[in-house]
Copies of this chain bind each other. A is one copy, B any other.
Amino acid sequence: MKKQRGLLINRKNSLLKPIGIFDSGLGGLTVAKEVFRFMPHENVIYFGDTARVPYGNKSKETITRFSTENAIFLKSRGVKLIVVACNTSCSLSLPILKKRLKMPIIGVINPAVKKAVEISKSGRIGVIGTNSTINSKAYDKRLKMLDRKIKVFSKSCPLFVPLAEEGWLDTDITYRTAKMYLDYLKLKNIDTLILACTHYPLLKKIIKKVMGKKVELIDSTSEVARAVKATLKQLGSLNEQKKKPGYQFYVSDEATHFIKVGEKFLGRKISCARKV
């Protein structure tokens, strides 16, 4: 009886453990937002590596070192599952993280790729992301693994992140920049375009304007939240207690900028972010 009670307490504790999410900066808050929405009772810890952002032009070795440190930090806070919300980290370091951390880890690539293959009729799929993400060919490989016949066309768009961070979401300059990057993909007659960077959904309106109505944009955030929920259910760790959840935010640089811009990404107030 005592043993059974102990097991029950253990299970309850494990349900209450938070979900950990990390990103190179604040872009991953778009994923956090969906996690909050899909699993309204889960406690969440978010870590943004704002002192070393961006990852998009850095090497595999450096990105893997940073990502491992971020994941170890979250593990040390007792999370039950880690979401790697940074496309660059996922493209270059996900298999290594899974091997090193030995705990459930979910990235942003698989959910987006599955959705794209499901939606695309012509089998011609575009991928846009940072230099490191595109050069890694992680999306191309995963798409081909699901369906060998798929044609993948990718293009890195290095100015999209600084444009989004500058808040120039719907300016003529951003439109011209988008045309400069995307005209190549338009020529390739794709019918589906994966936004392989957490900042890009902020530029959706302009990307849509350049690509035209017939091209479906895949923004992986809700797909990732769905995958997290499915995994937790499968592991028996989904927290469905109707209590108000706790959200904690950590950053590696000063919190002021993170809070100010982060609230826009998250669509809700961030009462506190701690520097670690």
* Chain A residues within CB distance 8 Å of chain B: 50-52, 57-62, 158-159, 162-163, 165-166, 172-173, 176-177, 180, 252-254, 256-257
Find chain B residues with CB under 8 A from A59 CB.
253-254, 256-257
Chain A interface, DSSP helix/strand/loop, else mixed: helix
Cross-interface CB contact of A166 among B51, B58, B159, B254, cutoff 8 Å: B159
Cross-interface CB contact of A253 among B58, B165, B172, B252, cutoff 8 Å: B58
Cross-interface CB contact of A62 among B177, B180, B254, cutoff 8 Å: B254
Nearest residue (CB) in B for A55 is B51
- Closest Cβ of chain B to A3, distance in Å, is 50
Find chain B residues with CB under 8 A from A57 CB.
165, 257
Cross-interface CB contact of A176 among B62, B172, B256, cutoff 8 Å: B172
Q: Judging by beta carbons under 8 Å apart, are A166 and B173 in contact?
A: no
Q: Judging by beta carbons under 8 Å apart, are B158 and A166 in contact?
A: yes
Nearest residue (CB) in B for A59 is B254
- Interchain CA distance A253-B56 in the complex, whole Å: 13
- Closest Cβ of chain B to A50, distance in Å, is 8
Nearest residue (CB) in B for A58 is B253
